[in-house]
Amino acid sequence: MIRGTKLINNKNMSIKKTFKKIVDADYIYIPLVTYKNKNIYCDLKIGDYVYKGQVLAKSDDMYNCKVISSVSGTIKDIKPWIYIDNTMVNTIIIENDFLNKEKFKKGAKKNISKYTSSEIIKLMKDNGVVGMSGSAYPTHFKYGMDLKINKLIVNAVEDEVYITSDFTNLNDKPSEILEAIDALMQAFKIGECVIAIKDFNEIGIKDFINYMGTYPNIKIKKVPDKYPVGYEKNLASYIYDVKIKKNPMERSIMVNNISTIYEIYRVLKYERPITGRIITISGNAVKNPQNIYVKFGTLLSDIIKNIGGLKYKDIVIIVNGPMMGNSVSSMDIPITASVIGITIQKNYKDEKTHDCINCGKCVNVCPVRLAPTYIKKYKNHKNILKLLNPNKCIRCGLCSYICPSKIDLRRDVIDACEVVKNEDKY
């Protein structure tokens, strides 16, 4: 049984709009960040010319990720710039020449099912394939673990409210996605694949069924419209009825987001780096909510100008959705691979919070069975806090969503995680 609840998802706001590619911006801002590493050194300098797809920097951690240019042009500056988590990180500012010059151009591969597993892992690593669900976890590292993959789950659930970027890939690219899945299954000798789609998404299910005749080992699985069924441990447990302690790979189950699968297709087909993605721009403050293709490093302010602007001046900007995302203070944040969408809402004045009434709703709804109210109560008592396991939190936001007293319990639990983490250092 999945613990959680049905949400009002507001997805129709952006689904109705036709998918389009955004116009290039004059300047592109590439953060020197890979996965969770913000200490990336770059040996390029102001005035250097860079090509689209060029590696600008590499991480020296175990993931060996690359920072890649999404355009061709001249480096105008390298300086701290606001990042999607409100911190300042070193950022390469490129003046776009709009020529999209590439140093190494390859033609399309006729048959992507001929790759070996090691060739696919190398292509993923060289071309910057990361998890497109918001984590930006290095996909080459995930597939490169010395573990047998028996089953593949393609996560097309898209739990987060307002966001429909996965939905767009699901409906626009069914044949490409199936081709990529088949290539992965052959290379890694994966026995079966399940594409998980929420049961209300009849359009996506019908489209995929029309393409699946030649792929007998790929199945569609409807999952209930219950948040957060898309969390990978929940999803694997639901589909295969198994208990998972840490992650699905302990059961030889690989889980990939559907947008990640599409990016894998593009890399296998064209052998070119990932330089952009589809994101959702939605919310009641957006004049024309829609899904658009954006080059990495494009500022949110440039995107908003391009799609018609906003309805209100007093707004709240949320990166990656209201449930699991975070608010940011500036429209000048650059889009990265870890941005699935931006929700912009009219700024209703903060609702008044009340004292906890001990209703227990947050405990009953928590998908990992935490007690958020107790974590809040004891977040300054380190010994007690450790027993309450705040580090198990998946940051789904249901505790705050369900709270009748409007307490931001998610923030309290996240803060408690930091307390425990810092205590463990000593």
Instruction: Give the model confidence (pLDDT) of 272-291 as tens digits.
Output: 999 999 999 999 999 999 99
Pick from 17-26, 338-347, 409-418: least confident: 17-26
What is the mean pLDDT of the segment spanning 215-220? 92
Among 3.40.50.11540, 3.30.2350.10, 3.40.640.10, 3.40.50.80, what is the CATH number of 1-24+100-349?
A: 3.40.50.11540
Question: With contact defined as beta carbons under 8 Å apart, do 156 and 258 qualify?
Answer: yes
Over range 300-314, report the average pLDDT.
Answer: 95
Angle, CA 32 vertex, CA 279 and CA 138 arms, to 5°? 60
Domain boundaries, the chain: 1-24+100-349, 361-424
CB-hemisphere CA count at 13 Å for 44? 28
Region 129-150 average pLDDT: 94
Query: Cβ distance 401 to 372 under 8 Å?
Result: no
Helix (H) or strand (E) holding 242: none
Span 119-130, average pLDDT = 96
Q: What is the pLDDT of residue 426?
A: 42
Q: Using an 8 Å Cβ cutoff, are 165 and 190 in contact?
A: no
- The pLDDT tens digits of the residues spanning 386-421 come to 899 999 999 999 999 999 999 999 999 999 988 877
Taking residues 317-325, what's their average pLDDT? 95
pTM of the full predicted structure?
0.94
